[in-house]
Each structure stands twice: as structure tokens, then as C-alpha cells.
Structure 1
Amino acid sequence: MATETESFVTAPSTPEAAAAAAPMAPTVEPAAHQPADRLEIVVERRLRQHGEGESRRMTIFRVPAHVRDASKELYEPRLVSIGPYYRGWEALRAMEQHKWRYMRELMGWPPQPAASLGDYVRAVRDVEQEARLCYSERTSIFAAAAAAQSEPSGGGEIEEEQSRHDGDPGGPGPDGFAEMLMLDGCFILEFFAKWYKGEPDKLCDVAWVLPLLHSDLLLLENQIPFFVLEALFHVVSPTATKLDLLRLILHRLKFSSYELSTAEELVQSDIQHLLHLFYEAIMPRDDETASVQDSTPPSLQYFVQLRQMGVRLKKAVSTRFVFIRDMPRVPHWMKTTLLATLLRKVGAWFSKLLAMIRRTPPASAPTLVVPSVTQLREAGVRFEKKESPRHMFDIAFDRDSGVLEMPRMEVDYANVALLVNLVAFEQTRGLPGDGDTSRRLSSYAALVGALVRTGKDVEHLQKRGIVENLLDGDDDAATKFFQHLGDCSTLNYKSHMFAGMFEDLRQFYHSSWRRHKAKFLRDHCSSPWAVLALVVAISAFCFALFKLSTTIFSLAHPYYCHC
């Protein structure tokens, strides 16, 4: 018994002893000869799939489910599916036959001789793996390809079962992803080629098809990588460049009445997909938006500087002469006279009255939101249409005159779908060093969404020529357009593009003097008759005051009366 105990406790002192003791230990079969566990195969396959998805090339994201479910018509395609997210939808299958027709026509597109089918396949195969890394969400089309690539021993049954869980029964084959890239890419190229050359097409000639296709191609979730289009375009025209492709696409993209950037200006940009191309095309240059971020007029910059100098001077004086505050109080018998005490009390009373007049708004009032158009009008803010705006962000507020100038905007369903997807795409981009000031569309959505809350706000902006409402009514424009622009955005309200304008508008609105002045002008100077009545009232008051003064004077000095 003691010998067995020693064999477990005492370690062998020499290699020979260790070798002699080794046969006594129980033998364990190496893991390589053991059959793979079912869970091990599943987890290994899952790790391989998820490891593939985490990449710096991830550029095509999905909108949060709660946002998409609340407004499906703004984020989901209505006519054609591009990419894996909506592939196979029953409502979109009618366009699949037109995709194949477009691809067949593209393969015979001049000026170069028609390339072989193998050239298109090789071009897609070269970018297939890179394109997989661009999508943030795995669908059944990814699972089918991954199952075909990985064939671990004893895992055939598990792969078949996993395929049934990931997609439809008998779902897409192992080449489904590459086929989707080729089909959708050729469809996009042929669509813009027909549009560019003005070729008649039975599909595009239908009045409602072209706007729907234009809208579906610019949805965040309905994209394929731009380098796939470049690879296919090079097969169609080997001598063409990226500049030619940009010219082909930008020729027909449009947004309201604003001019887009040219292809020459965007040729150096790393375009991710069509929506990113459109985003870069409508974004102004940094030097054009620098004046928007600083809304302080030149006439008030000196006042701001003087006020800051006064604050610094006051702080320096209080620090220098702090010993005065620590001096002993004056005895009671040395206090000032009764008149000085009375004056001090009157001064304190006036100070309290002034504090009541300048009191801050109640704590329940919002501090980070701009008042609406109706509220700002009550404070005297006037809304004017911006003449010849440089871009959609060319908004200016003059604190001296209380005038807020805004560019004209069109309110329709096409614009709201485009804007909300552009805002959602902007949220997926990493922030540069300047923080939220680079999120210009999100800042714009926050501004107009705060200004326009009810139909009365839309009605007034329509009268001023700022808004052109193409919806059913003013209330629909407020609830279905302006209030939806920021659904998929988060913003730091203290450092965004219009943060200075937000603060200026709040200060203007909370000024009691400006509100009373605006109310007086609105009540007594809104029409010629009101002005005439005010002049008559002032004249009557002055006449009565003059008559009263003469009467008092005659009573005080009766010897001057010669009656």
C-alpha cells in the first residue's frame, strides 16, 4: 500500500525512471484519432463564418430592426432587390427576369467586342471573397457558400441541417453569392447605360418604374460593393477608367434642385457603393460649410470679444483684491446715515426686480432643442428664403435682425426616403477628429426636425417660399417628412454642425424683451388699420396729457389766466 502511494506522490528523479514508470500510467488515445464531436464541428464552422465577417471592409450595414419596422417603406425596396438582404423576396421576384434580360443585353454592349461569359465569371470570382467582407449581416446565401467550402469529416449531416436552418429548403447553391454579384452588377451597369444613351426600354418607359428604380438603387440595405461594378465595367470596356464609370452613373442621379459634384471631383474618392457615391456627390466642400458652423455675424464678434475681456478683467480684479473681502466688518455705530440705508434697500429692491425680469426659463423647458417655427415667430424671428444657396446646408441666422434664411426644400416621398437612407449611411461612417461636425446630414435633420413639428410650421414656411409641399397636407409633411429624418441618427447636440445656431435661436427666443416687442408689433402694427388706430390712440393720449398739464398750470397760477 505504501509503495503505491509513493508512486503517485514521488516524481521520478531520472529520465530512465520516468520511462520505466510511464507504462504504469493509464494510456490516453490522442485527440487526433478521436471522432469529432457534433458540437465541435458546429462551433468551428460558426467561428469561421463570424471571423470572416469581422473586417475593416465592412461597408454595407442594416438599419436597426425597430427603426425599419416602424417605417418599412423608407428602408425596404419596392421594385428591385440588389445584394443579399432582400434577395428572393416574393414581392421583388418579378424583376429577376428583367435582370437576366439586362445582363444578356450588356454582354453585347459596344464599343468593344462582346466579352465571353468566362471573362465576366473570372471578374466576379476575383472580387467575390472581398465582397463577402463588406456585409455586416450573414444571410442564407452566405451559409450555402460556406457549407460548400468547408467539408469536415463526419459533418455532412450537420451542414445539411444547418443549411435548412439558415435558409429556405433547397436554398441557394454554393455559387449563389457570386451569381448574385454578377447578375445585380450587370443589371446596374446596363440600367445606367440605357439611361445615359436614352435607349427605349419597355420597362423603364413605364411612368412609375423609373422613379422606383432610382429610389431602390439608393437604399442603404440594397447595395453591392462599388468595386464589383468596376470589375464588370472593365470587362465590358477594357479601355474605360473609373472616371468613365462615374460619368455614366452621375449623369442621371439628381437631388431636388441642387447640383451634384462632377466625376472629376470624385475620381480620387474611395467609393463603397452607389449610396456612398451619391452622398459624396451632394456633400459640399469643407471650406463652403465653414461659415455655417460659425453663425456669429461679424458685427457681433467684437461684442463677444469685449464681453470675454470683461469677464477675464473681473476675475483678475477679484483675485487681486481678495483681501478686501476678508477685512473685518464696520461696527454698528459707524454705519451710514438713514438716507444711505434707505438708498441701499431701494437698490436691493431694484436688483430683485431686475433678476425677476431676467429670470431663466423653467427647468422643465428643453435646453438642447430649438423652438419650433411657431414659437420662434412669437419671439420675432422672421423666416426668409435663401436666394442662390450654395448647398442645402447654407442656413444662416442673424441675431441682430432676427432673420433666419433657409434654402428651398421639396417635401415628397422620394426625398424623405433618400434623406433618411443618407442619414443612416452617415451614421455608419467612423468619426474623424472633428467629431459630430462632420455629420452634416444628421445635423441638418436635427435642425429641420426641431423647427417643423406641426402643420402650422409647414404652412408658414410655405408662405415664405422655403417649403414646397407635394404631400397630401401640411400635417402629413410635418409627421411623415420632417419628423422621420432623424429616426436613425444619434447626435451630440453640443458639438454638431449647427450647435452655434441652436444656442443663438434659444437665446433669442428666451429674451422677454424680444417676445414683448414682437407681440406689440404683431398686435398693433400688423395692418394699416392697426397702425392708424395706434397713431390715433397716441395722438389722443398726447392731447389729453397736454390738456391736463394746462389745467394744472392754470390752477397753480391763476393770475396768468386772462379769462
Structure 2
Amino acid sequence: MNRYMENHVAKELEAMLKKAQPLFTTKSCCIYKVPHEIRQSNEDAYTPGLVSIGPLHYGNYRLVTMESHKQVYCQHFIQRSEASLSDLVSCVQQLEPHIRACYSEKINLTVDKLVKVIFIDCCFVIELFLRDEWMRNDAIFSKPWMWVRVIYDLLLLENQVPFFVFEMLYNLAFASRLNNGGKFSPFLRLAVGMFSKVEKQGVLTLETSRIAHFTDLLRYLYLTPFHTTTPRERGQLVLGHGASELFKAGVKFQVNKSNHDCILDLEFEHGVLKIPHILVHDKTEVRLRNIVALEQCHYPRHHYLTDYVNFLAQLVNSNKDVDVLINAGIIESTIIGNDTSVNKIFSDVGKNILMENYNANYLQICHGLNAYYKHPWHTKMATLRRDYFTTPWKTVTFIAGIALLLLILLIQTVCSILQV
């Protein structure tokens, strides 16, 4: 009896283990559920508030209202397309295994159901992008608040469809107009044009095949070839002093206006820290959180935006630090209320993030700033400039005082000589 039970359990275990699958089973995996440790500090920053795209948030009762509107957009896209509905659906059906492999989570949808979800969502997004160019008399575009919320929902890591699906549907739908030099732009250019309206960042220089999805596209808009080839080193990115302390030690802060047009271009030399202009608004935290989450999951050894957030969090960790960068023209905040929330954004985004290497340039900058602060001569000179040379009147008074002191010493010396 015992032997029978053992064999029965062994067979059940064998059957169960055969079905087991490891996490991230393929190299195609690029769309992730944000780890609990990261998302717990701000659940809403990773959750769509108006429209779901892809299977991870499909069926969310909060997003049901937009489903009918997505279907209306889908109908208009089909009418606009030169390919038939059957051909468009067949395209997604052929891609279904590759689409499913792109998600880190197991998708509990049948093949047919997943095809329907992906098809409607992709048609909705493409039609949305096309309407932005030619059809502004629309329920979404007539309400700016709704348009902005939809666009930012499209940038969330969990709210993604692989980029290649959009491209293949778009190319199939408008094949003749794309190939014959018509007015239709390539889908990548269309997407960049759309997101550039809410995120004024750099110019994309990478080929389409490198882009996994819209969150990845946003990340690439922040990067340049200069940064993707910057060496990385193991170590700790530790800045021992905030901006206000560094300012008191004589460090000058300036807006970096380099030709790279990239917010990651930090420079420190001859006591001057140059940082590109930073516009902080209500969606800055959402944008940074999703890019950092993507880098944590997908770019564990090339997390350049995470390095940047880590550095800024240490540089502006108090109200006084933020004021220093605002006064220098580096930070511009459009957040209604107290600008002290700026430092909280950077500190919160960087929480529960694990890193094993860093941008070598940032490590060098931290080392240089820490060494500059420790040098006693720099602090004394900064105090002298702050106390005696901040205004023309103080400068004149100081020079007059020194001249008077020298004159007194000279008179005393002459008197001493005459007495002898």
C-alpha cells in the first residue's frame, strides 16, 4: 500500500515538474510586471488610469469605459487601411507566439482572445497617432486632459505591446502609401512625433529593431550613442554632500548647454558642476519610475537613467539643495505648491533599486566633488567671496578696509624707524 502511494505521488510530481517553466523563458522577454518592492511605494505610477494596452491590465474594471472607444478607433483604422480585416487579423495570429513570449508573466488568455486584445489595442494606438496629425475633432483630442492621460498610459511598462506588432500592422495597412513616397510617415517617426509633444527629449538615432516597446522608446529618447558607450565600473556612487553644502564649499552650478542635447550630460571641472536643464512636472515621477523599472528588469548592467536618478537624489536631498539648483536655472518646476517636492521625486524613484555597476563618468564626478569639498582652501575662499564680494558695495568696503589696514601698518613701521 505504501509503495503504491509513493509511486502515485511520484507520478503526480513528475507530471507537475514537466509542466514547470522558468521565469523569463526567452530572450524575447521585454515587458515586465514591476517588482513588488519597487511598485509598493507608488502603485498608481505603474498602473494605467484611463486605457489598458496589452494583456497585463486587460479586464481591469477601472478601464472598461475606454474599451468601447478603442473599438470605435479600431473600426476607423480598418476603414482607413488598404488591407482587409482578414489580412490584418492573420498578421496578428501569425505573431501570437512571439507576442506571448515577450511578457514575463504567464498570459491566461486563449490564443484567440489574446489575438483580439492585441489587434484592437494596436489598431486603437495607430489610429490615435494618425488622428493626432489629421483629425483633431475627436472626443480624446477635444479634451486635453484626456489626451495627456492616454499618452502617459501608453508609456507605462506594464501597459505595452511589442513594437514590432505595431510596425507590421501599420506597414501592412499602408504598404502602397509608404513605399511610393506618400504622406504616410514610418511608424517609428509617427510614435516619436507623438511622444515628443509631452516629453521634449533627444533625437532617436537607433534602428527600429532595437526598440522593444514604447517605454523602451522613451528611454532611447533620453540616450545618445555617447552614453550607450560610456564605460561602467563597479563601486559605490556616493556623493557625501548636497548642493547647498557644495555651494558653501565654493562649487559653482551651471546649466550644461552641450551639443549632446541629453539630460545625462553631467560635467565637473575647475570647481564648476554643469547639469542640463531639468523640467519637473506632475508626470515626471511616473515617467522616471517606469524607465527605472525597465532598466532594473531589462538593462541590469546598463541602467544609465537609474544612475542619473541616483546622483540627483543625493545632490538634492533637502529643500536648500533644490533652491540652489533652481537659482542656478538648472531645475524648473511647474508643480503647483512647494518646490520641496522635487527632492522627494528623485529620492522616491531610486528606492529599492539594486545596482552592481555605475556610469564611470558619474563615479569620477562624485569623487571630484567629495575631494573638492574636503579641501580647506576651497571652503575659505568660498566664505571670503560670500562674505565680502557678493555686492559691489561689500567689495569696495573690503578693499578699503584692507587698504586702511596696510596704511596703518605702513605708518607704524615708519614711526618705528624714525624713533630709532
Q: TM-score range by the shorter chain?
A: 0.7 to 0.9
Shift of 1:131: 1.3
Query: Where does residue 297 of structure 2 map in the other structure?
Result: 428
Query: Where does residue 322 of structure 1 map in the other structure?
Result: none
1:330-362 Cα deviation digits (max 9, x unpaired): xxxxxxxxxxxxxxxxxxxxxxxxxxxxxxxxx
Shift of 1:376: 0.6
Alignment of 1:327-338 (within 5 A): none
* 1:502 to 1:493, Cα distance in 2 relative to 1, 3 A: farther
Shift of 1:403: 1.4
Shift of 1:465: 1.4
CA RMSD in angstroms, aligned pairs only: 3.1
Shift of 1:488: 5.8
- The amino acid of 1:102's aligned partner reads Y
- The amino acid of 2:193's aligned partner reads H
* 1:144 to 1:248, Cα distance in 2 relative to 1, 3 A: closer
Distance 1:84 1:288 in 2: 31
Distance 1:226 1:43 in 2: 38
SS at match of 1:222: coil
Are residues 1:473 and 2:338 paired?
Answer: yes
TM-score, normalising length: structure 2: 0.86
Shift of 1:43: 7.2
Distance 2:25 2:89 in 1: 26
Shift of 1:426: 2.1
Distance 1:228 1:269 in 2: 12
Query: Where does residue 80 of structure 2 map in the other structure?
Result: 109
1:57-104 Cα deviation digits (max 9, x unpaired): 111112221221211232111111112222211211111111111111
Are residues 1:397 and 2:268 paired?
Answer: yes
5+ unaligned residues in a row in structure 1: which ranges? Answer: 1-27, 30-35, 146-173, 294-365, 558-563
Q: Which of residues 250, 263, 271 in structure 1 aligns to 2:211?
A: 271
Alignment of 1:55-454 (within 5 A): 55-110=26-81, 112=82, 115-116=84-85, 118-138=86-106, 142-145=107-110, 175-239=112-176, 240=178, 244-254=186-196, 256-261=199-204, 265-286=205-226, 368-387=238-257, 389-390=259-260, 391-399=262-270, 402-430=271-299, 436=301, 438-454=302-318
* 1:90 to 1:367, Cα distance in 2 relative to 1, 3 A: closer
Distance 1:120 1:40 in 2: 45
Shift of 1:259: 3.6
SS at match of 1:405: strand
Shift of 1:284: 0.7
* 1:84 to 1:287, Cα distance in 2 relative to 1, 3 A: closer
- The amino acid of 2:355's aligned partner reads L
Shift of 1:42: 8.6
- The amino acid of 1:531's aligned partner reads T
SS at match of 1:55: coil
Shift of 1:202: 1.3
* 1:430 to 1:207, Cα distance in 2 relative to 1, 3 A: closer
* 1:287 to 1:60, Cα distance in 2 relative to 1, 3 A: closer
Aligned residues: 407
Distance 1:253 1:281 in 2: 10
1:30-71 Cα deviation digits (max 9, x unpaired): xxxxxx969966974675362595122111112221221211
Q: Which segment is superposed worse, 516-525 or 384-393?
A: 384-393
SS at match of 1:175: helix
Are residues 1:529 and 2:393 paired?
Answer: yes
5+ unaligned residues in a row in structure 2: which ranges? Answer: none
Note if contact 1:453-1:478 (Cα within 8 Å) is conserved in structure 2.
yes
Q: Which segment is superposed worse, 531-540 or 444-453?
A: 531-540
* Identity across matched positions, percent: 25
SS at match of 1:70: coil
SS at match of 1:213: helix
| Structure number with higher relative contact order (C-alpha < 8 Å, ≥ 6 residues apart) | 2
Distance 1:210 1:533 in 2: 59
Which has the larger Rg? 1
1:164-196 Cα deviation digits (max 9, x unpaired): xxxxxxxxxx63222211121111111111113
Distance 1:541 1:379 in 2: 28
- The amino acid of 1:283's aligned partner reads L
Alignment of 1:499-510 (within 5 A): 499-510=363-374
* 1:385 to 1:430, Cα distance in 2 relative to 1, 3 A: closer
Shift of 1:143: 3.4
* 1:51 to 1:493, Cα distance in 2 relative to 1, 3 A: closer
* 1:39 to 1:105, Cα distance in 2 relative to 1, 3 A: farther
Note if contact 1:63-1:488 (Cα within 8 Å) is conserved in structure 2.
no
